């Protein structure tokens, strides 16, 4: 008897971000609006920015592009208009909600 694995066979829409980011966006789009969804949007944006820098070292990975890509991947269901996302847009080098690194 052979077990068949259930896997997502849908094509990846933006290969530079990968399937995991695409699945996270799909999950966030099904969540009810609130603080948890806003936090997930910010986390997804940080992941997308990091992966974009990995794939496109020559280009600036602007958060405006990430915001547009999130809208495109969620078919307009995520808008990235939370205050936490706006703080990330204002200071892209800051870590929101993360631990501070020790100097030394």
Output the pLDDT for position 93: 64
In a domain, 43, yes or no: yes
The per-residue DSSP string of 52-66 comes to HHHH-TTS---HHHH
In a 13 Å sphere around the CA of 2, the CA atoms on its Cβ side amount to 3
**Which distant-in-sequence residues (6+ apart) come within 8 Å of 26 by Cβ?**
74
What pLDDT, on the 0 to 100 scale, is given for residue 74? 92
pTM above 0.75, yes or no: no
36 part of a folded domain: yes
pLDDT in tens, 19-71: 889 999 999 999 999 889 988 998 998 888 888 777 776 666 577 788 898 99
Residue 104 lies in a domain: no
Q: Is residue 52 one of the residues assigned to a domain? A: yes
Does residue 30 lie within any of the structural domains?
A: yes
Number of domains forming the structure of the chain: 1
In a domain, 8, yes or no: no
Mean pLDDT of 100-104: 58
């Amino acid at each position: 008897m052979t077990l068949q694995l259930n896997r997502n066979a849908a094509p990846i829409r933006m290969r530079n971000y990968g399937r995991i980011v695409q699945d996270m966006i799909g999950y966030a789009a099904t969540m009810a609006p609130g603080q948890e969804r806003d936090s997930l949007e910010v986390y997804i944006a940080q992941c997308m920015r990091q992966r974009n820098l990995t794939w496109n070292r020559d280009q600036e990975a602007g958060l405006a592009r990430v915001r547009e890509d999130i809208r495109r991947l969620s078919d307009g269901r995520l808008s990235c208009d939370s205050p936490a996302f706006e703080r990330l847009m204002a200071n892209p080098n800051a870590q929101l909600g993360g631990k501070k690194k020790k100097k030394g």
